[in-house]
Amino acid sequence: MPASLAASPVRPRGGLLAATLPAGIFLVLTLLPVVTSVTGSTYLISLGSRVMIFAIAAVALDLLVGYAALISFGHAAFIGLGAYAVGILSAYGFTDALVSLPVALAVSAAYAFLTGLVCLRTKGVYFIMITLAFGQMAFFTASSLAPFGGDDGLTIAARNTLAGFPVLRNERAFYYIVFFCLLSTYLFCRALVASRFGRVVRGAKENPVRVSTLGFDVYRFQLATYVIAGALAGLSGFLLANAAEFVSPAYMSWQRSGELIVMVLLGGLASLDGAVIGTAAYLLTEEWLSAFTENWKVIFGPVLVLIVLFARGGLLGLTSALARRFMRA
Amino acid sequence: MVQILNGLQFGVLLFLIAAGLTLVFGVMDFINLAHGVQYMLGAYLGVAFYALTGSFLAALVLALAATLTFGLLLEFVVFRHLYDRDHLDHVIATFGIILFLNHGVKLVWGAAPLSLPMPELFSGSVKLTEGLLYPVWRLVVIASGLAIATMLYVLVAHTRTGMLVRAGATNAAMVSALGVNIRRLFTIVFGFGAMLAGFAGIMIAPILSVEPGMGDTVLILAFVVIVIGGIGSIRGAFLAALLIGIVDTLGRSFSVDILRLAMGPSAARTVGPAIASMLIYLLMAVVLYVRPTGLFPAKGR
Amino acid sequence: MPEPMLRLQKLRKSFGALVVTDDLTLDVMPRELHAVIGPNGAGKTTLINQISGLIAPDSGTVLFGGRDITGMPVDARARLGLARSFQVSSVLPRFSALENVALAVQSRSGSSFRFLGRAAEEAALNGPAMAALGDVGLAERAHVPAGELAHGEKRALELAIALAMEPKVLLLDEPMAGTGREETARLIAVLRRLKGRFSVVLVEHDMTAVFALADRISVLLHGRILASGAAAAVRVDPRVVAAYLGDEME
C-alpha cells in the first residue's frame, strides 16, 4: 500500500492520548460558553457553533474517506440539501424544527441513496469524479432555483422553533443544541466503526475481494455507509441554515467539498476526534488569517502542500509523533 | 450551425486540456487538479507578455515557454515526490496549488478580468454560408486544436517516445522494469501536458475574459472528459471532448426552447438553464453506469 | 448414486485467443477431498475463480448442491456455503489474525447490519474464531496483525478463515505454496482431521500432500480434465504419468 496520509492506523493510537482526547475536546466545547459569559461576547459562541456544525459533516465524511476509503468529492451537496430544506420550508411557512429537521435528513439521505447507487459501481478516481458530478448537479439546481434566490441565495426570516419554542434563537441555547448534535454524531459514528457493520466496512477498505468471498455484499455495506454519511451532513446543513439564517448554492460548491476533505485530513484520517480537531484548525485558521488579508489562501495553499508532503497522519499524527519523541527523551 | 461550430471550438479547447490530464493520469497515475490553473496561468502570461512585447506571436511563444518552465518547476519541486502516494494525497496537494495560484494571480494582476486582443490578421469574421458570419479567430482555435490533435496522434502512435508513453499508460511498472528512464518520461509527459494547457489558455484569452478561477470550471469539465473518454486514452479524450463541447453548447442554447415544447414557457425558463448545466454530468453518470471505466480506457476493462 | 455437491459442466473460458478452460466437466461428491493437479498454466486458479465467482465463464454451468450458481455473485455463493483460500495470501493485513477469522464467523452468524455493540468483544464470534485458529495452530498468534505474520502462518490463517465459514465446499488454491516442510506437514495434519466434514477441492503441486489426503484426483491439462478417479488409480494411469506425474514422482 503506498505511503500516504491514508496510511494512519485503523486502530486507535494506544494509551493516554486516545482515551483522553475526545473527552478533552468535548470538555473544551462544553466550557466555552461559560468562559465567554465572562467576556460577554457572542462572537466566540457563534464561531464555536460554526466549528461544531462543520465538524459534524467532517466526522461523517471521515466515515467515508477514512474508514471506508470512499473519497467523496461531493459531500458538501448534502450539507446544502439539508440547508435548503430548511430554507424552502421556511419560505412556505413551515418553521418548526420538528418538521424541517426530518425533512432535511430525509432529503439528504434520499439523495445519498440515489446517487450512491450509481457512484458505488465505480472505484478510484472514477468514484471521485462521479461524486463531484453529483455535487455539481445539486449546486446547479440550487443556483437556478429563481424563486428561492438562485445564485444569490435565500434569507431565512428567523431560526426554526423547536416544538413551538424559539429556543434556537438564543445564541447560547443554540450552541448547546449544536453541541448535543455533534456529541451524538460522534458517539454514533464511534459505535458504528466498532460494530459488526463497521468491521465489514473497514475490512472492505483493506481487501474488498476477500470480504466479498466471505459472503458480504460489499456494495450494500458501502451504500449504507454513504447514506448515513449523507444524512449526517444533512443534519449539519439543517444547523448551518439556522445558524446563518441564510442558504446559498455556495454551500454545495466543489470547493466546499474539497475544504471538507482537507478538514478531515488535517486531523488525520480514520480518526473521528481528528475530524473535529481538523475542522477547528481549518476554520480557526481561516478566521484568523482572513483578518490579515483577503488572500490568505495564497499562504494556505502551499501549507496544504507541505502537509501532504511531510505531515502524514495530519495534525494528530504530528502531535503523537512529537509526543512519542518527547516521552523518549 | 453557429452553435455547432461553437461547440466544436469548445470541444477542441477541452481536448487540449484533457489530453495533458489524461496522459499524466494514465502514465503516472497522478491526479492533477492543478491542470486547470496551468491553463489560467497560460492566459495570464499571455496577457503579461503581450503588454511587454505588443506582439501576439511573441506573447504566444514566450508564454508557452514560461508555462512549460513553470510546469516543470512544479513537477520537480512538488509532484515527483507524490507519484507513489495515494490519490487522496494528489487531490489535496494539487488543491493547495489551485488555492495558491488562484489567489496568487489575484495578488499580482488584481481581481478584475483582463483581456488579450486578437492578432489583427484574424480578428474579423468570415462568411461561411449565405447569411452566416463566423469569427475567424474561433476558426483558428478549432484549426489549431485539430492540428495539435493530429500531431499528438502522430507522436503517440508513430514515435518511440510515443510508444513508451502508450506503454506507460498501460503498465508503468513494466516499462520501468524494462530499463526505460521512467523519471524522464514522466517529466516529458508532464511538461508537454502543461504546455498544451497553457496553449489553450493563450488561444482562448482573446475570446474569454482572463480572471482568477477561470481554470476551475474548465478543469472539472476536463475531468469529465477524461472519465468519459477513458483514462490514459488520447483518442477517448478527443472524442469525449468534442462530444461534451457540442452537447454542452447546444444544450445551453437550446434547452429552454426544447423544454418549452414539453412544459410552459416560464417553467422552461426556470428549469432549462439548470438542466443545461447538469447535462454533462448526467451524461457522465450514464456513461459510468454502463461502463464504469469510461469508453476507451488505456488499461482495458 | 449420491448427488454431487459441486458439478461443473462444460466450462469454457478464453482470454482473447488463449483458451484457459476448455469444455471442462468435473464432479465433486459430498464430503470427499478431491484434488486437482496439473502443471503450471493448466488453468487451475482460473478454474477456482470460476467456481467461486470471481471470473465468469464464457459458457457452461456451475451447480452447487444441485443449484445453478453460474450467474451468482461472489458473496451470494459464499453465503450458500462455498469458501475459498487464495494462492497468494489474501488477508486483511491491519486486522489481527483473530479479527480476520472473526469476520468470517460473522458472515455465518446473523445480520451484520448491526450498528451498535462492539464486534471485537462478541464471544459468539471470538469463540469459534479462536477454535479455528487453534485448529490450524495459530492460537498463540491470535492478536498479531495479519500483515506481520510469517508466510507459513498466513497460509494457515487463510485456511482458518475458510474453515470459520463452516463451508459445504472448501476450495483450497495451493495452500502449501511456499511453505517449508514442517509447516506443510502441519497443514496436512489439519486437513486430514477435517476430512469428511465437508467437500474439499484441493488444488496443489505438492504430491506428498495430494496422495496423503485425496479421495479422488482429477488431472488438469491445457484446460481440460485428462483423467479423474480414485487416487490410487490415477496415480498409475499411464496417460497421467506420461503427461505430468512422471517428473513429479522423482
Min Cα distance A1 → chain B (Å) is 9
Distance between CA atoms of residues A248 and A139, nearest Å: 9
Is residue A198 within 8 Å of residue C119, measured between CB atoms? Answer: yes
* Three-state secondary-structure class, residue B4: helix
In terms of pTM, does the model score above 0.90? Answer: no
Burial of C178 (0-12, 13-18, 19+ CB in 10 A): middle
Residue ranges of domains in chain A: 12-328
pLDDT at A233: 97
Pairing of strands C33-37, C199-203: parallel
* Interface contact A10-C94, CB threshold 8 A: yes
| Closest to B67 (Cα-Cα) out of B193, B238, B176 | B193
Residue B53: which domain range?
Answer: 2-212
Min Cα distance C132 → chain A (Å) is 15
| Closest to B244 (Cα-Cα) out of B12, B31, B1, B21 | B12
State the complex-level ipTM: 0.87
Q: Which three cell numbers stand for residue B104?
A: 496568487
pLDDT at B112: 81
To the nearest whole number, what is the mean pLDDT of chain B? 81
Distance between CA atoms of residues C104 and A170, nearest Å: 51
Our CA angle for A98, A100, A106, nearest 5°, is 105
Min Cα distance C238 → chain A (Å) is 38
* Residue C108: Cβ within 10 Å count: 18
In terms of C-beta distances under 8 Å and separation of at least 24 residues, what long-range contacts does C147-154 make, across chains too?
C147/C91, C147/C93, C147/C94, C149/C91, C149/C97, C151/C89, C151/C178, C151/C179, C152/C178, C152/C179, C152/C180, C152/C183, C153/C97, C154/C89, C154/C91
Condensed to tens digits (0 to 9), the pLDDT of residues B233-255 reads 788 888 899 888 888 888 877 77
pLDDT at A84: 94
Distance between CA atoms of residues B144 and B266, nearest Å: 41
Could you say which residues from 46 to 75 on chain B have a Cβ atom under 8 Å away from some Cβ of chain A? none
Q: Does the domain formed by C6-92+167-248 have CATH 3.40.50.300?
A: yes
Of C73, C92, C102, the CB nearest to A210: C92
The tally of domains found in chain B comes to 1
As a whole-number percent, the residues of chain B with pLDDT over 90 amount to: 0
A partners (3+ CB pairs within 8 A) are B, C
The DSSP element (H or E) to which A28 belongs, if any, is helix A16-39
Q: Quick check: A119 pLDDT over 80?
A: yes
Band (pLDDT 50/70/90 cuts) for residue B113 is confident
Q: Could you tell me which residue, A130 or A116, shows the higher pLDDT?
A: A116
Task: Please enumerate in sequence order all residues whose Cβ is within 8 A of that of A142, keeping only pairs 6 or more positions apart, or say none.
Answer: A80, A84, A148, A248, A249, A252
pLDDT at C242: 78
Distance between CA atoms of residues B110 and B118, nearest Å: 22
Q: Quick check: A8 pLDDT over 50?
A: no
Q: Could you tell me which residue, A39 or A216, shows the higher pLDDT?
A: A216
Q: Is residue B146 assigned to a domain? A: yes
Min Cα distance A238 → chain C (Å) is 24
pLDDT at C250: 39
Mutation test of the interface with chain B: which of A308, A309, A312, A315, choosing the one with the most B Cβ atoms within 10 A? A308
Q: Which residue has the cell 466503526?
A: A193
* Residue A123: Cβ within 10 Å count: 14
* Three-state secondary-structure class, residue A49: helix
The per-residue pLDDT string of chain C (250 residues; one tens digit each, 9 = 90 and over) reads 678 889 999 999 988 888 888 888 999 999 899 999 888 777 888 899 999 999 899 999 999 988 999 989 999 999 999 999 998 888 999 999 999 999 999 998 878 888 888 888 888 889 999 999 998 888 898 999 999 998 888 988 999 999 899 899 999 998 888 888 888 888 888 888 888 889 999 998 888 888 888 899 998 888 888 888 888 888 788 887 777 665 554 3
Strand blocks (E) in chain C: 6-15, 18-28, 33-37, 59-64, 67-68, 82-84, 169-173, 199-203, 216-221, 224-230
B154 to B159, B161, C214: CA distances (angstroms): 7, 11, 59
Q: Quick check: B10 pLDDT over 50?
A: yes
**Which amino acid is located at A154 in the chain?**
L
pLDDT at C49: 92
Q: Quick check: A327 pLDDT over 70?
A: no
Band (pLDDT 50/70/90 cuts) for residue A77 is very high
| Closest to B75 (Cα-Cα) out of B18, B12, B27 | B27
Mean pLDDT for B199-220 is 84
Fold of A12-328: ABC transporter involved in vitamin B12 uptake, BtuC (1.10.3470)
Of A195, A210, A217, the CB nearest to C114: A195
To the nearest whole number, what is the mean pLDDT of chain A? 84
Q: Could you tell me which residue, A244 or B55, shows the higher pLDDT?
A: A244
Residue ranges of domains in chain C: 6-92+167-248
Condensed to tens digits (0 to 9), the pLDDT of residues B194-204 reads 888 888 888 88
pLDDT at A120: 92
A18-53 in b/e form (b: 16+ CB < 10 A) is: eeebbeebbeebeebbeebeeeeeeeebebbbbbbb
pLDDT at A197: 93
pLDDT at A323: 66
C186 to A250, B169, B252, C175, C201: CA distances (angstroms): 63, 45, 70, 12, 19
pLDDT at B169: 66
Please report residues of B whose CB lies closer than 8 A to that of A305. 78, 93, 96-97, 100
Q: Specify the DSSP class assigned to residue A63.
A: I
pLDDT at A6: 40
Q: Is residue B238 assigned to a domain? A: no
Min Cα distance A321 → chain C (Å) is 20
Q: Quick check: A44 pLDDT over 50?
A: yes
Distance between CA atoms of residues B99 and B114, nearest Å: 20
Distance between CA atoms of residues C200 and C214, nearest Å: 9
Q: Could you tell me which residue, A205 or B286, shows the higher pLDDT?
A: A205
B–A contact: 3+ Cβ pairs < 8 A: yes
Our CA angle for A304, A307, A310, nearest 5°, is 150
Q: Quick check: A1 pLDDT over 80?
A: no
**Which amino acid is located at B143 in the chain?**
A
Q: Could you tell me which residue, C6 or A144, shows the higher pLDDT?
A: C6
pLDDT at B267: 67
- Torsion sign over Cα B30, B35, B37, B41: positive
Is residue C77 within 8 Å of residue C165, measured between CB atoms? Answer: no
Determine the straight-line distance between the first and last CA of chain A, rounded to whole angstroms.
32
Distance between CA atoms of residues B212 and A26, nearest Å: 40
Choose the weakest-confidence range: A22-31, A184-193, A194-203.
Answer: A22-31
Mean pLDDT for A262-277 is 86
C partners (3+ CB pairs within 8 A) are A
Choose the weakest-confidence range: A50-59, A257-266, B283-292.
Answer: B283-292
Could you say which residues from 174 to 193 on chain C have a Cβ atom under 8 Å away from some Cβ of chain A? none
